[in-house]
Chain A
Amino acid sequence: MSEASAPQSPWQTARITRIEKRTPRVTSFFFALSRPFAYRAGQHVDVRLTAPDGYQARRSYSIASAPESGATIELAIEKLDDGEVSPFFHEVAAVGDEIELRGPLGGHFVWSDSDGGPLLLVGGGSGVVPLMAMVRHRTLRKSAVPVALMFSVRVWDEVIFRDELISLDDRRDGFDLVLTLTREAAQRPSDYSRRIDTAMVMQAQARLPQPPALAFVCGSNAFVSAAAQALIDTGMSADIIRTERYGV
């Protein structure tokens, strides 16, 4: 951590090995790292694109894969129409392309099995990505930490990682999925169709055997502001709530 040390996470090239469409607007890109690194669930990488004239654009993307999944990392990238980097990935990038990235980055919005729980995860849209890394980490570690994931999207077809999340939910092994669709009727009996509010948070918490020891909230700024307030309004201490916001 000292200033004199080498960069903690130098730029490296990573090759795209697989591209998988998750929803109409979110596609996963799998990168084989040339310099594999250890990371924690919730961390992100910076990606840098370089034009022939030297112009560079960089953005941060959360890692969706679990640390246990080896030297290939998954980034689930939402296409932003007025974006610069995400349209490149959605429209241009292909398997075999080499992309520059550096990581792992971020040391706050992170969770490991050894940190314990119970855990309340709250994601809006592509804000679920770092939370997915935590859920997958828990699964691969065969962790007994109780986890409830509240995931808010507009419509059923925008539920990123939907099949995987529902199959994890069906295991009844201490992971609970609470979906809420803000512009469509709920599809499962236990789900909701409204924005996350205090009553919904209380019901999600009730699915955990004890009150959460830590909560992670990720999404747009508007989503995180509202959801974090809903958590606080249940009486949860702000000290145990970690947030990550993106967008304007």
Chain B
Amino acid sequence: MVTRGFSSGRKPPTETDARIPPGQYLEQGFPVLSAGPTPRVRTEDWSFTLKHGPRPIKKWNWAEFNALPLTKMTRDIHCVTAWTKFDTAWQGVLVDDILADAGIEAPTGFLLAHGYDGYTTNVPAKDLTTGKAMVALLYEGKPITADHGGPARLLVPHLYFWKSAKWLNGLQFTERDEPGFWELRGYHIYGDPWREQRYSGDP
């Protein structure tokens, strides 16, 4: 339905059009969104736990985690609130390298990411492995600020950004796809921006 009086003056140029998923607009800043107050986690108190169900597989402290192989990843990111930001530059530990250090392969098809604030979000294992996702430690070469999820946040750039959990303290393999915080509150179980899977029930 054409809206009376609305014109496409802000339509992105065609050369960037192909990088902007449907319903998104290009943002130059880096908006902050979160469901609660910003936790201030000190790196000396930080730890990361890999679990299978209730059972811990391996736990790392900050120094141990930083000793894992660091990978650079520069990606476009897409927030469900409709902004897209190009070329965000991160460094961190690929989920593949975390599993390798723990000496396991994905034991189930699904994971829940956990944050220090109690936040959870579910991501299929295939979307976190084979180089697709990392636990990011640096943004543009500097430690990630608390606002943006530091000390460590998940980065799953090909899904809406609520999947990239802030203040990450663990990944947990689950037997089935268990909805996380926003997925229980009306947001899509998978969240592919290119299919515009914003809210539960979107195709």
Q: Is the CB of A51 within 8 A of B25?
A: no
- The answer to whether A248 and B2 touch (CB under 8 A), given A3-B201, A5-B200, A105-B186, is no
CA distance A46 to B5 in the complex (A): 19
Tell yes or no: A221 within 8 A of B by CB: yes
Complex interface: chain B residues within 8 A of A109 (CB): 35
CA distance A88 to B35 in the complex (A): 29
Instruction: Tell me the dominant secondary structure on chain A's binding face.
Output: mixed
> Is B39 located at the chain interface by the 8 A CB criterion?
yes
Interface string of B115-130 (1 = CB under 8 A from A): 0011000000000000
Q: Given A1-B200, A3-B201, A51-B7, is A242 in contact with B35 using a C-beta cutoff of 8 Å?
A: yes
- The answer to whether B201 and A51 have CB atoms under 8 Å apart is no
- A187 on the interface (CB 8 Å rule)? no
Quick check: is B76 within 8 A (CB to CB) of the other chain?
no
Instruction: Decide: A92 and B10 in contact? CB cutoff 8 A.
Output: no
In the complex, the answer to whether A225 meets B6 with C-beta atoms within 8 Å is no
Q: Is A228 an interface residue (CB 8 A)?
A: yes
CB of A228 within 8 A of CB of B38, answer yes
Closest Cβ of chain B: how far from A88's Cβ, in Å?
6
Closest Cβ–Cβ distance, residue B46 to chain A (whole Å): 17
Asked if A50 and B118 sit within 8 Å, CB to CB, the answer is: no
Task: Write out the residue numbers on chain B whose beta carbons fall within 8 Å of the beta carbon of A93.
Answer: 5
Chain B proximity of A71: nearest CB distance (Å) = 19
**A49 engages B186 (CB within 8 Å):** no
Among A73-102, those with CB < 8 Å from B are 84, 88, 92-93, 97-100, 102
Question: B203 — which chain A residues lie within 8 A by C-beta?
Answer: 7
Whether B201 pairs with A57 at a CB distance below 8 angstroms is no
- Which residue of chain A lies nearest to B32 when distances are taken between CB atoms in the complex? A221
Is the Cβ of A52 less than 8 Å from the Cβ of B2? yes
A interface residues, tally (CB under 8 Å): 51
Q: Name the one of B184, B185, B201 contacting A5, with C-beta atoms under 8 angstroms.
A: B201
Interface flags for B158-200 (1: CB within 8 Å of A; 0: not) read: 0000000000000000000001011011101110000000111
CB pair A1 B179 closer than 8 Å: yes
Chain B residues positioned under 8 Å from A58 (CB to CB):
23, 82
B30 in complex: contacting residue of A52, A56, A248, CB < 8 Å: A248
Q: Which residue of chain A lies nearest to B12 when distances are taken between CB atoms in the complex?
A: A55
Q: Which of A56, A84, A97, A105 contacts B199 (CB 8 A)?
A: A105
Residues of A204-248 contacting chain B, CB below 8 A: 221, 225, 228-229, 231-232, 238-239, 241-243, 245-248
**B201:A8 contact, CB within 8 angstroms:** yes
Is there an interface contact between B201 and A7, defined as CB atoms closer than 8 Å? yes
Among A3, A243, A245, residue most surrounded by chain B Cβ atoms (within 10 Å) = A3
Q: Tell me, in angstroms, the Cα distance from A49 to B1 when the chains sit together.
A: 8
Asked if B37 is at the interface (CB within 8 A of a chain A CB), the reply is yes
A82-134 residues with Cβ-Cβ distance < 8 A to B are 84, 88, 92-93, 97-100, 102, 105-109
Interface of B toward A, CB cutoff 8 Å = 1-11, 22-23, 25, 27, 29-39, 81-82, 117-118, 147, 179, 181-182, 184-186, 188-190, 198-203
Q: A residues near B, CB below 8 A? A: 1-3, 5-9, 13, 46, 48-53, 55-60, 84, 88, 92-93, 97-100, 102, 105-109, 221, 225, 228-229, 231-232, 238-239, 241-243, 245-248
Please, could you name 29 A-B residue pairs with CB atoms under 8 Å apart, sorted by A? Answer: A1-B184, A3-B200, A3-B201, A5-B200, A7-B202, A8-B200, A51-B11, A53-B8, A55-B11, A56-B22, A57-B10, A58-B23, A58-B82, A59-B82, A84-B10, A88-B3, A92-B5, A97-B5, A106-B185, A106-B186, A221-B31, A225-B38, A228-B36, A228-B37, A228-B38, A238-B39, A242-B35, A242-B36, A243-B34
